[in-house]
Every structure is written in C-alpha cells, then in structure tokens.
A = this chain, B = another copy of it.
Amino acid sequence: MFRSKTCGELRSENIGESVTLAGWVQRTRKMGGMTFVDVRDRYGVTQLVFNQETNSELCDKANKLGREYVINVTGLVAERSSKNKNMGTGDVEILVEKLTILNESLTPPFTIEDTTDGGDDIRMKYRYLDLRRQSVRSNLMLRHQITFETRRFLDQQDFLEVETPILIGSTPEGARDFVVPSRMNTGQFYALPQSPQLFKQLLMVSGFDRYFQIAKCFRDEDLRADRQPEFTQIDCEMSFVEQEDVLQIFEGLIQHLFNEIKGVSFEGVFPRMTYADAMKYYGSDKPDIRFDMKFVELKDAVSGKDFVVFDSAEYVGGICASQCSGYTRKQLDELTEFVKRPQIGAKGLVYIKYESDGSLKSSIDKFYSSEDLKSIVSLFNAQPGDLILVLAGNKTKTQKALNELRLEMGARLGLRDKNVFKPLWVIDFPLFEWDEESQRFYAMHHPFTSPKPEDIPYLDTDPGKVRANAYDLVVNGVELGGGSIRIHDSKLQNRMFELLGFTAEKAEAQFGFLMSAFKYGAPPHGGLAFGLDRLVSLFAGLDSIRDCIAFPKNNSGRDVMIDAPSVIDASQLEELHLILNLPKTENA
C-alpha cells in the first residue's frame, strides 16, 4: 500500500492519526533544525516535518530531496503552530517517521507552479510536466465534469449515446478531409469524419429518436490559434421535433451545466435574436450581449451635407461609448489605428464628443453644424459625457469593423467580465450564402438544413432570401454551437443539391446512402452540435481552446511532445502501395 490518505484530505480532525501519503516534492526548506517538505498530489499539498534533533538520519535524507522527487512517507498528523488558511490541509502537518524515495527526478525545465517560468514552446514539449500544474490540470478536470454532466442530463432526457465510425468515406465538399489509406482495399482510402452529421441523420431514419455523442471530429485545415486538427463536439439529434423543441432541450442542457458546475442560474428563457437583427445591431452573427452599445445606422441622418466620405458610403453607422467624451487625442488616435489595422480595414474613424457641459465636438465639425450633430447624437439617446464613434464604407466590411470597435470599447470599459455569462440564441440564418469568387451559392450551415416552409417559394426566385430553420447558441460573443431542422424529404433534398451545384451523379456518389435512406420513411428531425473545446474554454475563462486539451497540436498540426507526424517505414508505404512524391525543395 503506497498511501492511506491523499495529500489533500487531512484536517484537524485527523490529528493524532498515523497516515501514509505519497506524492511529489513541491519544495523543501530548512529552518533551524527543522526541514519542511511540501508534498503534492492531484488532491492537494500537505506539509511534512523532519526534525534534525529527534532523527538526524531521516532529516538528512529529507534534505537531499530534489524538486519533483516521488516519495511516500508515514508519520503522525500534528497540529501546525502557524496555520495556513490558504490550504485545505493548512491546519496540520505530518511528523514523519518513515520516508521512501519512490523515484528521483531531474530538475524540471520550468517550475511546476500555477505561474510558471516556462514559455509556451518548452511547456508543450514537456506537456507531461505542464499538466502537473494545478492551473492546467483544473481545466481538464472541468472538461471531465462538463462531459459527465452533459451525459447525465441527456441520459435523463432519453438520449442514447451511439458511437459512429471514425473510418468513413471522403466527401470532398466542405473542409478538407484527413484520409487513411486502406491496405485491404488497395488504392482506396477512408476519411476521418468532419462531424457525425450523416450518421446521426441515419440514426433518426433508424428510429433512435434521441441521439447524442461526444465525438472526435477532424478537419485538415490551416490552423489558426483557435483551431485544432482534431476537436470534440457534443453532437445531438432528435426526431419528431420542430425548432422550438430543440431550443428548449438544449437551453436546458446549458442551464444544467451552468447550474451544476458554475453555480450560475439564468432568469427566464435565453433571449433570441434573428440573424438579420444581429447583423444590423452588432455587425456579427455572434454578438456579445454582456453590454448594449448597439449600432445606430446614420446614412439618412448624415447624407447631403457635402461630406463626401459619408455621401459616397454604402453604410454609415456608429456606436455610443458611455462616459468617454473625455477621451484624449491620443486615445482617439489609438482607436483610429485600431480600426485601420489590416485585419479590420476601416479607412478612418469619425468621433463626436458630447461633452459633460452639453457642447458637441467632432472630427467633422467642418461639414456638420451643431444642430446637425445634436440630431445625430439624439439618435443614440446619448447623454452628456458620451462619445459617439462612427465608421463608413461598404456595408458588410464596415459592420464587421464596427463590431470589432464595439468589442474593443466594451473591453476598455470593463463590460466584458469573464464571470458574467450572457447566452443568446441567434435564429433565422439565411439558407445560402453567395460566394462572389466562384459566383455560386453555398449552404451557410450544411446542405441538409431545411428552409423555413414560408420561404420555400423563394428557392426558385430569390434563393438568397430564403431563411433556414437554423440556430446558433452564442454566449459572450462565442459561438458555442449550432444546428438546424433537417430536410427529411428526398425531393426537397435533391432540389437543394441542385441549387448548390451538385450534379445528380455527384450527389449520388457523396450522399447516395442518405438519399436512399430517406426513401424508407425518414421522420422530421433536427439537432445541433456544441463545440466541447469552446464550452470548456468559456467555463474556464481561457483565451485558447488549446489550454483545455490534454495533448494539443501546434499551428503546424504537430504534437511536439511525441514529435508526430513523422516519416514512416518504407515497408509501411509499400504495403499501402504508395509512393511519396516530395517537392524538390523538400528533398534538398
């Protein structure tokens, strides 16, 4: 037996007990004739005491312990003279009688503390040491808790968790697949699923009624900070439902998670906003509604005053930053620089200061009279002390830039508290989105999303106008997930494929089995998927999903700890009938 207690559980009730603990040496310090050793495990830290006078041999042994040595000790639980209120075990210490070194340790390349001296690269290379840090491990404990509570909730709601296959077929539409050569089927490849979408729809055809799966998904995309080649979704589907049924069930799930895990409860139902309103008032399909600061459209109000920037703009809009009229020239310049950054791309920034004394100052005084400015300011319901910030230009780009500016101002004003959570359903997404480059429509959600029945006539006349039974759940400006009611009619599904530019052959080759299944009595169905990595990040207050993944990959898709991917044996390639055709520069 290596231990009778963990390092996190001893309290003053245990004083006088003989216990055995095991764990890692967090630190040692000598004070007079005493040596104190903090021993750590997943559950906590306990202080060990060695006394030079009573047992010098044992104390000498303790003095030789290095950081991260693995030890176990037996001793008596005693009351601490100077208690540590910051530690659960801070009332007690162990008077050690026996010390065994279970394993030694080299000095770790960075300190195993909540705030470490290790940079990102070294911590990823030694991820197994990074994971020893409480601050990292707690993210993974939270992840466990979220998946466990998700399963508990969905099980109670009669959902069945069904594993769908990882080795499936490739569907070139959409993001790029990872492929897996098949040795037994020469020249053929499996693909790893981008989502279990087709299989969950088949399970509905099979009458499973309520399905979920916490599923690994894969996308071979160029990675950004917040993307991983493999990621995890809480994937769900229900039969005989309308949009309202789906929203209610999964609003329940999210409320359950917030309640059980963060002790947060929400009053009433989650607010809902149409996609159209989200774009109009926030310039984003995932508005952060922890703060108001809605866009006000100004085109009509500012036109015809010979200010060519506004007159020539497709869109003029602004936001009102409360009590910011005192912004200095420098601060305003900063904001101007911010919106002019290439990734935001605005041409400039117009401001109107509504001074505390009621006067108005602006960067466009030359074109607009005080009266003009007053009427603009009144559109914002602005108060003395407020600052109006205005952008103009192409509608889509300007709304996008104004969204960034709004988020920046929200952050500057401290309105984006990580401990405040504001959920929002964004509904009525467009069914299609037009791609200028390829001059064709793409499915905004995916090709199986059903149009709103009342918009079906537009499919023939004005596809861009068709709204979908599609919805996203957004919390604090983060899209946690989304879904849709699916098409369950094979004729309508074929019409969709047509509109999306699939030939009959291509549709058959890629989705033939789904189309066949639909001919045998598909029920009305719909569902959604939440991004687990994002959900955990939101709960943990993390900036990157990487921090809630045990063994993440870097931006090149590499696991630097195990050094994968890597070259494989020639015999492996041969068995798969593959030849590498490396570009010349790589061979050099």
A residues touching B (Cβ–Cβ < 8 Å)?
1-3, 22-24, 40-43, 68-70, 72, 102-106, 108, 126-129, 131-132, 137, 140-141, 143-144, 147-148, 151-152, 155, 160-170, 172, 176-192, 198-199, 202-203, 205-209, 216, 218, 220, 222-223, 229-230, 232, 240-242, 245, 488-489, 512-513, 517-524, 549-551, 553, 556-559, 561-569, 572, 575-583, 586
For residue A513, which residues in chain B have a CB less than 8 angstroms away from its CB? 561-563
Does A192 contact B206, Cβ atoms closer than 8 Å?
no
Sorted nearest first, the 6 A-B pairs with minimum C-beta distance are A169-B564, A105-B521, A131-B206, A2-B240, A188-B565, A182-B565
A557 touches B182 (CB 8 A): yes
Contact A102 B179 (CB under 8 A): no
Q: Are A183 and B519 in contact (CB under 8 A)?
A: no
Q: How far is the CA of A524 from the CA of B72 in the complex (A)?
A: 11
Q: Contact at B42–A162, with CB atoms within 8 Å?
A: no
Known: A199-B550, A513-B563. 5 other contacts (CB 8 A): A42-B207, A129-B520, A144-B160, A169-B562, A179-B568
Which of B1, B223, B489 is in CB contact (< 8 Å) with A242? Answer: B1
| B188 contacts A576, C-beta separation under 8 Å | no
Contact, CB under 8 Å: B582 / A577: yes
The answer for the CA separation of A16 and B490 in the assembled complex, in Å, is 38
Closest residue of B by beta carbon distance from A66:
B521
Are A140 and B160 in contact, CB atoms less than 8 angstroms apart?
Answer: yes
- Residues of B near A22 (CB, < 8 A) are 240, 523
Chain B residue with the shortest CB-CB distance to A165: B551
Which of A23, A103, A576 has the largest count of B CB atoms less than 10 A from its CB?
A103
Closest to A186 in B: B586
With a CB–CB cut-off of 8 A, which chain B residues contact A183? 176, 220
Q: Establish whether residues B167 and A103, one from each chain, have CB atoms under 8 Å apart when the complex forms.
A: no
Does more than half of chain A's interface fall in helix, strand or loop, or is it mixed? loop
- CA–CA, A144 to B192, complex, Å? 23
Report yes or no: A187 in contact with B151, Cβ–Cβ below 8 A: no
CA distance A124 to B140 in the complex (A): 39
A105 contacts across to B, CB distance below 8 A: 519-521
Q: Name the distance in Å between A222's Cβ and chain B's nearest Cβ.
A: 7
* Residues on B with beta carbons closer than 8 Å to the beta carbon of A188: 565-567
When the two chains form their complex, are residues B2 and A565 in contact, meaning their CB atoms are under 8 A apart?
no
Residues of chain B contacted by A581 (CB below 8 angstroms): 577-579
Shortest CB distance A228–B (Å): 9
B203 near A550 with CB under 8 A, answer yes
- In the complex, 28 of the A-B residue pairs with CB atoms within 8 angstroms, ordered by the A residue number, are A42-B207, A68-B521, A72-B240, A103-B488, A103-B523, A131-B203, A131-B207, A140-B160, A144-B160, A147-B161, A164-B550, A167-B553, A168-B562, A169-B559, A170-B572, A176-B572, A176-B575, A180-B192, A181-B181, A185-B558, A186-B583, A189-B566, A190-B565, A199-B551, A216-B216, A513-B563, A577-B581, A579-B580
Tell me the complex Cα distance, A169–B186, Å.
23
Given that A1-B242, A103-B488 are contacting pairs, would A155 and B165 also be in contact in the complex, using a CB cutoff of 8 Å?
A: no
Most chain B C-beta atoms within 10 Å of own C-beta, residue among A69, A104, A179, A576:
A179
Chain B residue contacts of A229, Cβ below 8 A: 167
Interface centre among A69, A184, A517, A553 (most CB of B within 10 A): A184
A68 and B517 CA atoms in complex are apart in Å by 12
Please indicate the chain B residues that have their CB under 8 angstroms from the CB of A220 in the complex. 183-184
Using Cβ atoms and an 8 Å threshold, which residues of chain B touch A104? 521
Asked if residues B520 and A108 are in contact (CB atoms below 8 Å), the reply is: yes
Most buried by B among A181, A524, A559: A181
Which of B106, B521, B556 interacts with A69 by CB under 8 Å?
A: B521
Most chain B CB atoms below 10 A, which of A40, A163, A553, A575: A163
How far, in whole Å, are A582 and B578 apart by their CA atoms in the complex?
Answer: 8
Chain B residues with CB under 8 Å of A563's CB are 169, 512-513
Nearest CB of B to A572, in Å: 6
Name the B residues within 8 Å of A162 (CB-CB): 140, 143-144, 550
Q: Which residue of chain B lies nearest to A140 when distances are taken between CB atoms in the complex?
A: B162
- Provide the residues of chain B in CB contact with A169, threshold 8 Å: 559, 562-566
